[in-house]
Chain A
Amino acid sequence: MNLNPITAGHDQLPSALASALPIQSGDAGLAADAALVARILAGDTQAFAAIVQRWQGPLINMAWRYCRDRGRAEEMAQEAFIRAWRGLAQWRRESSFSTWLFSVAANVYRTELKHIPAVHLSLDQAAEPSSPFAHDAPLDGVARDEAVRRAVLALPQRYREPTILFYFHEMDLAAAAATMGLPEGTMKARLSRARTMLRLRFPQLREQWTKGDKS
């Protein structure tokens, strides 16, 4: 499923999710963003409502991946929108509006979580399913998946954020690096380390990976 708000075509998405994603995509979306920003900078505050409408889904979902708390995700997304509105004149149009917006949001989320960290366990304390994973055990699978996702939040900060953004951007390394403002090589190294830590924490995934690799 393509969750990338920039590349997602709505025909590929479930209707519920499509309503949370931008109305337009591609060049039309970029032009629409630029036109809206021009109107806002000319003094039309209400034009920002269209920006909010267009990007609220991606920003809330991005925040959700940072904290896994619905209420807090909306608060953080609201703060990100306010920060974007204040700094709209700083968007230089060298990158797309979405890249700039995600970058602003990532800064806000990072700062917010630095002040009040999300409640999570350390990586060693993250729950590990007692039995090996089985594809025919849906409940175990759900619990395991949730444990892995929560374990991402337990990663050290320098590895956590690249992991969150890499998967938020549908494994688009360049987009994740642009959002974080890091070189791609640095992102790649941190991601590699993060994935190694997760596989060490969840040996079943490593075994499964090794089997898949051999086949």
Chain B
Amino acid sequence: MSHNQPDQFGQPSQPSQLDRILLEQDSLLPSSGFAASVMDAIQQQSPTPAPIPFPWKLALPGFAALLVGVIVICKLAIMTIRSMSQTYVTSFATDSASNTAWLWPHLNSSSALDVLLRNAAAPILLTLAASWLCVLLCRRFAGEVSR
């Protein structure tokens, strides 16, 4: 509002002595380092960089494979435990004199795959394969991140 316009208090258009005193005040000039100190304070308060997002797109196939692997291993473990307990009962029931017959009860009567599944070899082999897959995936992710 210009000083010459009528003011809001129904007073004359010219500023009063009080107005003049309160209008004409000394003005401060900012000190030379003021802007720099403000920017320093702001830089200190800048948020830390956002964490690198987890690569869900790349990891999802790996998680799916892991899930399948875990299910297969669990199933095999259950089958192995069942077959071993049956073998234990059978071997003692038949009073087998041969130790090798207790260790390999189905060697002659089952197929090679059956033997493999009924022994601990299958889960071990699958675990090794899963571990190797994990190593491969880790190397692949690490390669993509470092690139």
By a beta-carbon cutoff of 8 Å, the part of chain A in contact with chain B is: 1, 3, 16-17, 19-20, 45-46, 48-49, 52-53, 56-57, 60-61, 64-65, 70, 73-74, 77-78, 81-82, 85-86, 133, 144-145, 148-149, 152, 163, 167, 170-173, 184, 188, 191-192, 195, 198-199, 202, 205, 208-209, 212-213
Contact = CB atoms under 8 A, between A and B. Distances in A.
B125 interface: no
Contact of B28 (A48, A61, A149): A61
A74 B30 contact: yes
Contacts of A57: 27-30
A152 B22 contact: yes
Contacts of A192: 9
B117 to A, nearest CB: 58
Given A19-B29, A20-B30, A205-B18, A45 B9 contact: no
Nearest to B45: A82
Interface stretch (B31-39, B79-87, B104-112): B31-39
Contacts, number: 113
20 contacts: A20-B27, A20-B29, A45-B43, A52-B34, A65-B25, A73-B28, A74-B30, A77-B30, A82-B41, A85-B42, A133-B17, A149-B22, A152-B22, A167-B22, A171-B1, A172-B1, A198-B18, A205-B16, A209-B16, A212-B12
B144 interface: no
Interface residues of B, number: 33
A198 B19 CA distance: 11
A74 B42 contact: no
A212 B18 CA distance: 12
A147 to B, nearest CB: 9
A1 B27 CA distance: 11
Contacts of B93: none
Interface of B: 1, 3, 7-9, 11-12, 14-19, 21-25, 27-31, 34-35, 37-39, 41-43, 45-46
A86 B45 CA distance: 9
In the A-B complex, list the 10 residue pairs whose CB atoms are closest, starting with the nearest: A167-B22, A56-B30, A145-B21, A52-B35, A148-B21, A81-B38, A52-B38, A208-B17, A172-B1, A17-B27
A133 B38 CA distance: 42
Contacts of A171: 1, 3, 7, 15, 19, 23
B46 A45 contact: yes
B41 A60 contact: no
A64 B17 CA distance: 21
A188 B9 contact: yes
A47 B12 CA distance: 45
A26 B12 CA distance: 29
Contacts of A56: 30, 34-35, 38
A3 B18 CA distance: 17
Nearest to B5: A171
A74 B38 CA distance: 10
